[in-house]
Amino acid sequence: MPWDDHMAHDTRFDDILAMVRRNNPSISRLGFIYARETWVEVSGGGLTEIIKGRYPGEVSCDGERGAMSRGAFPVFRHGELSGVAWFDAVLPHYFTPRVLRDLEPYSALVETEAHSRRDGSRRIRSLVGLARTLARHRDDDTGAHLNRMGLYAREIAGALAPRHGLSDSFTEHVHLFSPLHDIGKIAISDQILLKPGRYTPEEFDVMKNHPMFGLDMVDEIGRQLNDSSGEDISLLRQIVRHHHENVDGTGYPDRLHKDEIPLAARIVAVADVFDAISSPRPYKPAWPLDRVIDYLVENAGRKFDTGVVGAFLSRLDAVKAIQAQYAEA
């Protein structure tokens, strides 16, 4: 797609929404669509005409999440299309010329906040790339493994999106950040991390510290970016801290149960374990697919989230294609 649709979910966007609703209480949501090209083809709802005409208007939103109408505002910077700010209303045909005039100043606020967030995300991506490179030099996780599990996580999030109302932004950030789940292993000594055999109970206790070591690293990234509470950093923190939690409460570090575990971490847990046991390693052969599926199903509701396992199994064709494309060398 030539568009990156950003749903507004954090406090700063909520503040803008609160201001909008003072005079327009029927507005239920707002967001911003980034333009990846100056002119693009957009199907349906008259959005093409709105962009090319450079004026706001109402477009169809197909009753998405209870919205009955959507107002769209093309935003231009230096004569180039920056994107489209949008507002959803719970009433049909809500966006009269008067309402559009009232909302137009807020479209600039939405655009400014959206671009501020994207700039921060780009900086995080750069640091994530560096950290992933460092991590691969200290662990037996291959680059192919990290690529596969990130793509598996994206497939799972995509399958869960309709039921959970997940945005494209969430799905892509899960894809981006899931390979960083074990970044805290950088802080584990080689004597333990690279041990070829089974860990002693004492060694395993040390290994169980890696989520919190990773959390410290993520928090430092947030401090360096002056963005310790942003949505991107929050999602990365959830993945790094909670990917070893089990839905029955037997995991670590916090022994969380079921929905107490952030959805992103539940997704990563399934993606990581699937790839770990379905791929060959120097110390073990790959499990056949049928055995891996049986393992996931048997542990759904105990180790893994049942809905996440179901979402994963619904994308098996895509999973097989990913395995073939990113096979171990």
Enzyme catalytic residues: 185
Instruction: Provide CB contacts within 8 A for 219, sequence distance 6+.
Output: 228, 237
Name which of 147, 164, 148 is nearest 310 in CA terms. Answer: 164
Cα separation, 182 vs 266, whole angstroms = 14
Distances (CA, A) of 69 to 65, 158, 196: 11, 25, 60
Max intra-chain CA distance, the chain: 71
Name beta bridge partners: 83.
34, 75
CA–CA dist 123, 113 (Å, integer): 16
State the residue for tokens 């600039």.
108
The phi, psi pair for 18, rounded to 5°, reads -65, -40
Who's near 329: CB < 8 A, 6+ residues apart? 144
User: Are the C-beta atoms of residues 150 and 178 closer than 8 Å to each other?
Assistant: yes
Name the DSSP letter for residue 196.
S
DSSP symbols for 233-296: HHHHHHHHHHTT--TBS--SSS--BGGGS-HHHHHHHHHHHHHHHHS-BTTBPPPPHHHHHHHH
3-state secondary structure 308-320: HHHHHHCCHHHHH
Which residues have CB under 8 Å from 18's CB, separation 6+? none
Question: In whole angstroms, what is the distance from residue 254 CA to residue 273 CA?
Answer: 19
Contact 135, 164 (CB under 8 A): no
